């Protein structure tokens, strides 16, 4: 990767997001916890989640990832409260499609992921970028399923 590629990929905005992750830390009484790891780079994200009335009401994330994974977790943290499991799954699928070049930038409220479009050309970074939203979507689905049983 050339220096100009690195500058494009790790923009000032990406680095700002990586340095300020909302909801950083664990929730002591989560309804669902999901840990995701990227085998390629070793990045990990653990998400704790609480849902009320089908919407995320509590969220915590422990992020140990590269700057791109941290930036993605930051963007998710800005919009996760109030989302349903279905909305998180839609956001996850849209982000994956954007990264693979098969879809546009995700629709609001996930449109902030546009800042990660330079990473589309770097498939080895996709798994780290997807960790937080994959974990959140899975945790929300788990909490929703438990609520229906309980």
Q: What angle do CA 79, 60, 66 make, to 5 degrees?
A: 80
Ordered structural domains, the chain, with CATH = 3-149 (3.90.1010.10)
What's the token pair of residue 35? Answer: 């840990």
Please report the pLDDT score of residue 149 as a whole number.
80
pLDDT one-digit tens code per residue, 24-77? 999 999 999 999 999 888 999 999 999 999 999 999 999 999 999 999 999 999
What does the DSSP assignment read for 7-48?
HHHT-HHHHHHHH--TTBS--TT-SEEEEEE-TTT--EEEEE
- Dmax over CA atoms of the chain, in Å, equals 54
CB neighbour list of residue 79: distance below 8 Å, 6 or more residues apart: 109, 110, 112
């Amino acid at each position: 990767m050339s220096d100009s590629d690195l500058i494009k990929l790790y923009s000032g905005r990406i680095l700002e997001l990586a340095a300020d992750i909302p909801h950083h830390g664990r929730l002591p009484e989560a309804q669902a916890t999901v840990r995701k790891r990227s085998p390629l780079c070793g990045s990990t994200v653990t998400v704790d989640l609480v849902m009320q009335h089908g919407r995320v009401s509590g969220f915590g994330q422990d992020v140990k990832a590269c700057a791109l994974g941290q930036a993605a977790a930051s963007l998710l943290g800005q919009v996760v409260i109030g989302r349903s499991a279905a909305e998180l799954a839609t956001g996850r699928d849209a982000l994956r499609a954007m990264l693979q070049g098969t879809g546009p930038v995700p629709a609001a409220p996930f449109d902030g992921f546009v800042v990660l479009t330079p990473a589309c050309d770097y498939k080895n970074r996709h798994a780290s970028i997807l960790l937080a939203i994959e974990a959140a979507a899975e945790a929300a689905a788990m909490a929703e399923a438990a609520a229906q049983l309980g």
